[in-house]
Amino acid sequence: MYRLEPIRRRRRPRPPRALLRGADAAFCVLLLLAAAVGGSRAVAGIPALLAAILPPGVTPAQADDSPGAPFVALRLDRPITASRFTPQLLYPLVAHDVPAWLIAHAPAPQPRLRAEPPPPGPPKVAIVIDDLGADLARTDRALALPRPVALSFLPYADATPWLAAEAERAGHDVLVHMPMEAEGEHDPGPLALTVGLAPDEIRRRLDAALQRVPGAVGLNNHMGSRFTAGRDGLIPVAEDLAARHLFFFDSRTTPATQVVAVSHAFGVASTGRDVFLDDEQTATAVDAQLAELEAKARAQGVAIAIGHPHDVTLAALAAWTARAGARGFVLIPLPDAIRLKTEREARLALAGPR
């Protein structure tokens, strides 16, 4: 058994400590003599002496904060602005977003037109009759209109539950005509959605209304010029409709309506009506509004009208729907019209202004 001895490295000989001490003492004496004879000039020459006797890079860099120290000034010919492609330091740098050579070789921008031609095929029309349920005879006349006509029922009317069920069996799309607060002294009816209600109370009233209208595929507002102008009250409505997969058709009782914007934010299908048929209840006025509906459908490809169960309106619609095909129009269900209008509005938004 051999015992391994550790290999020891040979140490370099060190100079005697006495010699180092003598050199240090000599340097100190020399420094004192230089300071005594030369004063401040000798002290100022120390850096030059060290630079001469020491190897390069050993002398540390020293900052000079004297007023006469030289400095570099950069001239800025324009105000400093931030850039997406420039690191934001303590002082933002100036840079171009796009290099000049790329700008020079880029093709000229082509103007995009906001207006677009209507989609191919005949113009399409959807019609909604609301305020139903309170008048049995007029509701029956609305039920006799073609199936694509959507029927919207007041939830508080006594006969609404079985009339709405009958409308669904007849093939109509059924809506809740939800009472909402109006501007002024107008009374929208019991359990209306009003500004200032707590979100839970809004959901409770909405749930009660939906239970009164079986088969509902969506809702539109009854009055609501004040309620639909505020986002806070519409948010719980949109949340509830999104959970139930129902749409929100905006009757557009105010130019300030927020219905479509809030509904789309929560993924709820929504659009607004184009024409009110019977603000003036005369045959001449209703015919004029039907002509306006036709014009909008030709220009846009699709248009939606709202009417009410007035005798003059029901008579005019019975006649118009009977000859719509011969006049070149297609009567479509409301959900299809909402989809087509939403797609058109999205295309226009992408195209931007002229």
Answer whether 90's CB lies under 8 Å from 328's CB: no
- Tokens 């009374």 correspond to 187
Whole-number pLDDT of residue 120: 73
| Average pLDDT score over the chain | 82
Amino acid found at 252: R
pLDDT at 277 over 50: yes
Q: Tell me how far CA of residue 317 lies from CA of 86, 151, 174, 176, 311, in angstroms.
A: 64, 13, 18, 21, 10
SS3 label, residue 274: coil
pLDDT at 265 over 50: yes
Answer whether 191's CB lies under 8 Å from 179's CB: yes
Whole-number pLDDT of residue 87: 47
Find the radius of gyration of the CA atoms of the chain.
42
Tens of pLDDT, residue by residue over 13-55, are: 565 555 546 656 666 666 666 666 666 565 566 666 665 565 5
Q: Where are the beta strands (DSSP E) in the chain?
A: 124-132, 150-153, 174-180, 216-223, 247-250, 270-272, 275-276, 302-307, 330-331
In the predicted model, what is the mean pLDDT of residues 210-235?
98
Confidence category of residue 351, pLDDT binned at 50, 70, 90? confident
12: exposed, middle or buried (C-beta count within 10 Å: 0-12, 13-18, 19+)?
exposed
Which of 246, 271, 224, 256 is CA-nearest to residue 126? 271
Q: How far apart are CA 153 and CA 134, in angstroms?
A: 9
Q: How far apart are CA 165 and CA 227, in angstroms?
A: 28
Q: Positive or negative CA dihedral for 170, 171, 176, 182? A: negative
pLDDT at 103 over 90: no
State the maximum Cα–Cα separation within the chain, in Å, rounded to a whole number: 126
In the predicted model, what is the mean pLDDT of residues 248-257?
98
Q: How far apart are CA 126 and CA 333, in angstroms?
A: 6
Whole-number pLDDT of residue 83: 47
Which of 251, 291, 255 is CA-nearest to residue 274? 251
SS3 label, residue 318: helix
In the predicted model, what is the mean pLDDT of residues 189-215?
97
Whole-number pLDDT of residue 180: 98
Whole-number pLDDT of residue 43: 59
Answer whether 305's CB lies under 8 Å from 287's CB: no
pLDDT at 185 over 80: yes
pTM: 0.68
Confidence category of residue 349, pLDDT binned at 50, 70, 90? confident
- Tokens 């031609």 correspond to 117
pLDDT above 70 covers a percentage of the chain that reads 66
Q: How far apart are CA 228 and CA 164, in angstroms?
A: 25
Burial string for 241-271 (b: 16+ CB within 10 Å, else e) reads: bbeeebbbbbbbbbeebbbbebbbebebbbb
Please, what is the end-to-end C-alpha distance for the chain in angstroms?
99
Other C-beta atoms closer than 10 Å to the C-beta of 54 total 10
pLDDT above 90 covers a percentage of the chain that reads 64
Between 344 and 113, where is the model more confident? 344
